[in-house]
Amino acid sequence: IRHGVHRLPNSMIYLLIPGLFSNHGPLYFCTTKAFLSKMGLTCHIAKIHSEASVETNAIELKEHIEEIYWGSQKRVVLLGHSKGGIDAAAALTLYWHDLKDKVAGLVLAQSPYGGTPIASDILREGQLGDYVNVRKMMEFLICKVMKGDMQALEDLTYDKRREFVKRHQLPKELP
């Protein structure tokens, strides 16, 4: 996209998938959606609980993609930001047999596909998480304040990402 001119096909639906803590930023992705819409592209923001586990959001996204496809008969391009990209990739690896004819592509922006040092350091014993009680603060913030699941943060550690990617690889036929 340059100077308001794009080569993106309007024969598809663009699904924006927000990242961790995005449910608490009321305008997250709204500017992006408005920008894409002004260019004549149909765009939705996925309604997921950003502090849920990757596998929980994967099933939510699968259902959302199926609803969009059912209502429009148009294939969906997934645009995932940060953890939203991880959630989107997980939906495709876990449910590709159901989604292969409904998804046109996957785009990840700033997604820690291999894990993030922030999650790993907060949760690893003997690291930052223990030293200044960051782990307990994050647990309180995610579980009590945001009504989420610590698994959302655990899923972003290097070890958990390595395990997941080893067990569930992206489909080779994914555009």
For residue range 142-157, list pLDDT tens digits in order: 767 667 778 888 999 9
Q: Tell me the pLDDT band of 128, cut-offs 50, 70 and 90.
A: low
Domain-located, residue 101:
yes
Which pLDDT value is given to residue 26? 67
- What the block records as the tokens of 62 is 């699968």
With 80 as the cut, is the pLDDT of residue 131 above it?
no
In a domain, 7, yes or no: no
Question: Within a domain: residue 117?
Answer: yes
Number of separate domains in the chain: 1
At 18, phi and psi to the nearest 5?
Answer: -75, 160
Two structure tokens written together for 29: 């992705």
Range of 101's domain? Answer: 13-167
Query: Is residue 6 assigned to a domain?
Result: no
Please tell me the total number of residues recorded for the chain in this structure.
175
Q: 83-99 and 54-72 are packed helices; what angle lies between their axes, rounded to 10 degrees?
A: 60
Contact 32, 95 (CB under 8 A): no
Query: What is the per-residue pLDDT for 170?
Result: 95
Average pLDDT on 97-116 reads 96
Is residue 112, in this structure, part of any structural domain at all?
Answer: yes
State the Cα–Cα distance between residues 142 and 52, nearest whole angstrom. Answer: 9
Domain assignment present for residue 175? The answer is: no
Interval 39-64: pLDDT, tens: 899 999 999 988 899 999 999 999 99
Please say if the pLDDT value at position 69 is more than 70: yes
Residue 77 belongs to a domain: yes
Q: Residue 4 has what pLDDT? A: 67
pLDDT of residue 132: 64
Which residues are within 8 A (CB) of 100 and not within 5 positions of it... i.e. 6 or more apart?
171, 173
Q: Name the more confident of 133 and 9.
A: 9
Residue 62 forms part of a structural domain: yes
CATH, residue 115: 3.40.50.1820
Give 76-90 pLDDT, tens digit per residue: 999 999 999 999 999
Q: From CA 102, how far away is CA 132, in angstroms rounded?
A: 46
